[in-house]
Structure 1
Amino acid sequence: MKNSFFLVIPEQKSDPQLLASFGDDALKQWIAELPAANPGLAARLFYELLGELVTVEMPAAKRLHALEMLRDSFFLIDDYLRSRLTRSGFPKGENEKKIFGLACSIERQFTIGYWSVARELTRREVGWLQAKPTVLAIQRTIKGLSRIVVTHYMMSYPIPDWIWIDLHSLYKLAVKLGKADVKVADQGGIFSKQSSIEDSYKQILLLSLAYPSGLMQKEFQLVYEFIEKIADLLEIETKPVAGQAVQCSILMDEDLPPAFLANSGQSDRRSDSAMLYLNLSKLAKVFKHPDKFSSKDEARFSSLEMEKSQQQRLPAELFDYLLQRWQGKEPQGSVYFSDRLDRYVAIGLEATFDLLDTARIGSGSGLEKRAETDSERALSCNFDQEGVLSIGSLVSFRKIDALPQQRALGVVCKILVPKQDSKLIFELMVIAAQAYAVTYQALDASPGDERKKALIYGAKDHEGEKSYIIMDSFRLKDGDLLRMYMGNENFPIILNGRRNIGLGYWQFECRRILDESTIPQQPKKKGYDFI
């Protein structure tokens, strides 16, 4: 790999004074003086410093040492900028787009620094003394490109041209040098402080196979770090994997991520030398032990931002999601729009509840947006407000000529932002063909106490007809008793089968208690005794 079309190294200039500013003492002082209390300013200063670092003529060893000294500061600044991108859903506003632009610029400049070192060291035959810095520079370049990919995934933006072919080319270079499996120190790792070029390459390949359009923004880094634990179970092979139901190929000379082949007989028109295969069969070991890697106590859709506890084990729902994706099964919404007619959509429990109230007017209320059908599974809509939609959002919809009360209910399972603007294409996992508005309160509440809003729907399974209630309170748990108000009726219900079905929404199977005299006395909840 002689050049990169994405990591373009700027023209180098000789500047002894600038070069001196990257000495150990000067750089340590500069890092110490970064304004920690003002991360926005720190990011700008860091970007300016990187611009100087990648343009000044400098020995490869000195440049690599300077980059390693700056690495911790890079992670702190980049993680802060990324956190600003995940505080709300889609579409993104201008401020978030500016933050995204700055984050990508810093990531790119930092990676160019490592690539310039790698290119310099691999121009000639790599000797024994150059082996370790060469492996380090290539591994860091792959990690840098991977970080750019993850940041684009977070924004649901297309991956820039040439990134994938650069990743493939760097891996091929490492294989050619016989250094692909050599471990180097990697303090950026969460679970391991050593990583090889091949480990880093496999990590981003496996993330791309998780179908990014079906992941929440907070989940990309979470899944990327989880893959660090299991990357050694993934193997790269030169021939189709015997016994693997769905083959997964990497087109090494194409600017494309790996992809599952639609059928076992499908192949690429070019020579086999340009194609490698991923052996995913050993991942079965991971999915046979879900308790080791996932937690049923962690809810996938509990919040938009990641909590610290989630860095250890994945939510069980996310773990199951990955199991399906790494078997080659694409996340797909329900086939509900085969007629290709427009729909009115409302986002959230509150808006849906108000529209199900017969006293409300539908499209004139401002609670609904008109959406076009993009496919038999997807809707597309231009949103005026920022941050209204995310994976896990609860959405109700109706046909244009239907009454506002005739609403189906679904959860967003896939989002695309094709033109990086306010137009979103999204798919829904439909959970009910018709939902109804109800209210509820604690069983021992006074009749005049405030009632909380909820939605209810019915469904059939092998056991018969069941009723399910959806609410936005995370305090309730299995076995709790409530009084539900539906139309002119009110009656006690018992909750069971608690599930976090959407972003901030919880579903229970609810059963009516016919004989109130059988209800046991419940202690009144105070404070946080529900935990």
Structure 2
Amino acid sequence: MPLSLKIPALTDKPLMIAETRPQKISDFLENLPLANPLSAATALFEEMEILNRQKIASDVRVKALELYRIAVASISEILASYYCKSGLPLPPQAKTCAGAAESLWLELGYGYKLALIDEQNKLFSLSSGKSNALIIQRAIEAMSQLALVYYKTYFSPPSSLWSDLNQLYLHAVHQSLHEVEVPISAENMGTISNTFKQTLLVSLAYPQHLAPLDIKRVSDYAARYADHARLQDVGLLESTAGIFLVSLQSDKAPIPYVKNAKDKLSAGDVFLVTVDLARVIHKHIQLLQSDSLPKNNDLPPDASDARYIDLLTHLIKHWGASPKRVFNRSRKSDGVKLGVGIAAAHFYIGGEQHASIPDASEDNIELSDDRLISPKISAAEFTLGHWIITNISAGGMALRKPVNPQDNIRVGDIVSVKEDKSAGWSVGVIRWATNDDQEYLDVGAQLIAPTAKAIGITRISPAVHEQGLLLAEVPMLKQPASIIAPSGTFGPARLLDIEEDGKTIRVMITKLIERTSRFERFGFSEIS
């Protein structure tokens, strides 16, 4: 079956002849201005574009691409350090960096797809199966990395990307190449199957619900443990937990498999089974919780980060079983005001003022970073966004607003929410974001408390003062009172002084309820 991949048109009479001599390409790469990653990316893109617009023997093309591949990965990593730190909508420089990374991976993928089509069109090919396996693996890898650029900037990958990915894997299966080992790096070997499974797993982790750093961690985890997931032919199943449908003859991303679904299974459909992978994640969570990781463990170095367990818990939820909606959503078009961050929530919930702040010169009290703001601050210091509710449920709302460069919102942010017809502020968390419509920004906010109180928090040792929110007990939901504070406040049994309405009480932290890169929420008990 002929491949129908997205590739550029080739010219018979190019204005410039592509450089294909390995030594010349190596010299070019050594002289790239890496101190200026955008300039380096532009120069690299232009060379690959010249290569991928003219007819070249597939083996010669692949040799050139193998040299470019290393530079693309290195420069893309530098570019990511710029756009991954930005809030939404992306500011101009971050958007330019993301666009440069997108172009590099897109062009690299074009090259390997062109080489594969050349091999497919040959009447007699002297290339080995391993050579073709390497070409397919590299093409899937490039598009997988391209998808990561989209995920980290909260854009959905285009359907053409999934069409190509699915075709390439199916072609590899038909040629019995999907389990052939090829070099991934100087130290590691890999297969088409594992690279494809890694791509599927990242998509199924709901990356629009994650911060860019966590998306990178998911990709790394999937690369390490994708061999514990398996792709198999469709058939009868006792349970649909950890079963996902991959339609290889479509342009669709994988989806959780629903037993007795209305749509019948089609030719080319396979199941991705993650049951064994879920067991591995459970084991890693237990080892991290008990602080008993063996010295020779194969987890990444940043697994020691306290939030890594939270990420693994997220993966269990999305890879181990299909998440179910708790509440039905309904359409709505009312407006809301949205303040982003703990400082904004503290300000608006506190009646548009901040509580008095201890003098940092007294009693060795340290003011925490930029978390404290003068009580004299005005509302002008905060960007209060006006959003439209596109749909709503008992647990949250989907929000949309025209893009404004002054907005600065991230997945995991605490938000203060006030509906146009409401008198008070509620508290929510940004759970997902999409930037697909470049004129509008869409986010999803989960409401975690109908009301809150603005409080001051002082850590006892070392003495650090910061702002926080006190969420009242909800007896009907058996939800105890809790505190929201900036990241880094939580510590098991840590003592805090809580200032509310001019009174100070001492509390001890009892339980971590939730933690993101932007805040921590924990339970406490009052110490008399």
TM-score interval for Structure 1 and Structure 2 normalised by the shorter chain = 0.7 to 0.9
- Distance apart, 1:144 and its partner CA: 1.1
What SS is found at the alignment partner of 1:169? Answer: helix
1:272 to 262, 266, 291: 266
- Distance apart, 1:333 and its partner CA: 8.8
- Distance apart, 1:185 and its partner CA: 0.3
1:208-357 equivalences under 5 Å are: 208-240=203-235, 242-246=237-241, 247-261=243-257, 263-266=258-261, 268-269=263-264, 272-291=266-285, 309-310=301-302, 315-330=308-323, 341-357=334-350
Partners of 2:351 and 2:261 lie apart in 1 by 54
Aligned to 1:496: 510
Residues 1:469 and 2:486 aligned together: no
- Distance apart, 1:433 and its partner CA: 1.7
**What letter corresponds to residue 280 of structure 1 in structure 2?**
T
1:70-219 equivalences under 5 Å are: 70-124=68-122, 129-187=127-185, 193-219=188-214
Partners of 2:486 and 2:54 lie apart in 1 by 56
Q: Deviations over 1:4-26 (max 9, x none)?
A: 452234324478x945x421221
After superposition, the Cα gap between the structure-2 partners of 1:335 and 1:440, relative to the gap in structure 1 and judged at 3 Å, is farther
- Distance apart, 1:478 and its partner CA: 2.7
Aligned to 1:454: 468
Aligned to 2:8: 8
Residues 1:407 and 2:400 aligned together: no
Aligned to 1:429: 446
Contact 1:236/1:276 (<8 A) preserved:
yes
2:435 to 417, 430, 449: 417
After superposition, the Cα gap between the structure-2 partners of 1:129 and 1:490, relative to the gap in structure 1 and judged at 3 Å, is closer
Q: Deviations over 1:305-332 (max 9, x none)?
A: xxx8427888111111111112453486
Partners of 1:265 and 1:278 lie apart in 2 by 17
After superposition, the Cα gap between the structure-2 partners of 1:436 and 1:292, relative to the gap in structure 1 and judged at 3 Å, is closer
Contact 1:214/1:331 (<8 A) preserved:
no
Aligned to 2:391: 375
Deviates more, 1:341-350 or 1:53-62: 53-62
- Distance apart, 1:151 and its partner CA: 1.1
**What letter corresponds to residue 375 of structure 1 in structure 2?**
N
Aligned-residue RMSD, C-alpha: 3.3
- Distance apart, 1:204 and its partner CA: 0.8
Partners of 2:276 and 2:236 lie apart in 1 by 12
Identify unmatched segments of 5+ residues in structure 1.
Answer: 298-307, 515-531
Sequence identity, in percent? 20
What SS is found at the alignment partner of 2:65? Answer: helix
Partners of 1:379 and 1:220 lie apart in 2 by 22
After superposition, the Cα gap between the structure-2 partners of 1:251 and 1:368, relative to the gap in structure 1 and judged at 3 Å, is same
What SS is found at the alignment partner of 1:250? Answer: strand
Contact 2:485/2:520 (<8 A) preserved:
yes
1:3-82 equivalences under 5 Å are: 3-13=3-13, 18=17, 21-82=19-80
- Distance apart, 1:58 and its partner CA: 2.6
Q: Deviations over 1:126-166 (max 9, x none)?
A: 75743222111111111111111111111211222321111
Aligned to 1:524: none
- Distance apart, 1:78 and its partner CA: 1.4
Partners of 2:27 and 2:138 lie apart in 1 by 24
Contact 2:487/2:516 (<8 A) preserved:
no
- Distance apart, 1:181 and its partner CA: 0.9
After superposition, the Cα gap between the structure-2 partners of 1:64 and 1:465, relative to the gap in structure 1 and judged at 3 Å, is closer
After superposition, the Cα gap between the structure-2 partners of 1:249 and 1:493, relative to the gap in structure 1 and judged at 3 Å, is closer
What SS is found at the alignment partner of 1:374? Answer: strand
Partners of 2:130 and 2:343 lie apart in 1 by 58
Contact 1:294/1:319 (<8 A) preserved:
no
Aligned to 1:302: none
**What letter corresponds to residue 459 of structure 1 in structure 2?**
E
- Distance apart, 1:296 and its partner CA: 8.6
After superposition, the Cα gap between the structure-2 partners of 1:444 and 1:130, relative to the gap in structure 1 and judged at 3 Å, is closer
TM-score by length of 2: 0.83
Partners of 1:52 and 1:339 lie apart in 2 by 50
Contact 1:441/1:451 (<8 A) preserved:
yes
Partners of 2:290 and 2:336 lie apart in 1 by 36
Contact 2:159/2:252 (<8 A) preserved:
no
Residues 1:396 and 2:416 aligned together: yes
After superposition, the Cα gap between the structure-2 partners of 1:444 and 1:415, relative to the gap in structure 1 and judged at 3 Å, is closer
Contact 1:14/1:57 (<8 A) preserved:
no
What SS is found at the alignment partner of 1:324? Answer: helix
Partners of 2:479 and 2:206 lie apart in 1 by 34
Identify unmatched segments of 5+ residues in structure 2.
Answer: 292-299, 354-376
Residues 1:441 and 2:458 aligned together: yes
Contact 1:342/1:373 (<8 A) preserved:
yes
Aligned residues: 491
Contact 2:403/2:438 (<8 A) preserved:
no
Q: Deviations over 1:472-511 (max 9, x none)?
A: 2615523333332211322322223245533332233232
Contact 2:341/2:413 (<8 A) preserved:
yes
Partners of 2:450 and 2:262 lie apart in 1 by 41
After superposition, the Cα gap between the structure-2 partners of 1:187 and 1:119, relative to the gap in structure 1 and judged at 3 Å, is same
Partners of 1:491 and 1:175 lie apart in 2 by 65
Contact 1:412/1:426 (<8 A) preserved:
yes
2:524 to 502, 510, 516: 510
2:498 to 484, 508, 526: 484
- Distance apart, 1:110 and its partner CA: 1.1
Partners of 1:202 and 1:293 lie apart in 2 by 25
Partners of 1:410 and 1:115 lie apart in 2 by 45
- Distance apart, 1:375 and its partner CA: 0.9
